[in-house]
Amino acid sequence: MSKSIKPVIDAFLEGKAKKVSNTETDGNNLYLFGNCIAKKGIDGIFISNGGYKATRTTQDRLNMLGANISRKKTQFYKNNVEWDGSWILLNDTPKDNKQIKEIFK
């Protein structure tokens, strides 16, 4: 976990704006290198890989939210299940993400 980024994660969870290095929040969305990797929705916090292959930095930021992400080479795993990085509720295990994808199109 990157301790210098924790204030941004805390600000996101508290609904406040904050930026440190390559990680930023407006209080409703969490951005890594300008790409949205988490957002608040009616049902809770949704996460994604921001449209990129599995990286340690993305894995770190999502795990700071409590996502239980692991990776092998360029593949993410969420709760030990292969995950394609599409939008999913923070505490869900990947299944059929088609419905979630439609929400954020």
**Contact 99/89 with Cβ under 8 angstroms?**
no
Q: Where are the domains of the chain?
A: 3-103
List the one residue out of 105, 96, 103, 49 whose CA is nearest residue 77. 49
Reported as type and span, the H/E element at residue 10 is helix 6-14
What confidence tens digit (pLDDT) does each residue in 5-43 have? 999 999 999 999 999 999 999 999 999 999 999 999 999
Q: What is the pTM of this model?
A: 0.85
The confidence score (pLDDT) of residue 91 equals 84
Angle at 63 between CA 15 and CA 37, to 5 degrees: 55
Statement: residue 102 has pLDDT above 60: no
Which position has the higher pLDDT, 101 or 63?
Answer: 63
Statement: residue 74 has pLDDT above 80: yes
What does DSSP assign to residue 100? H
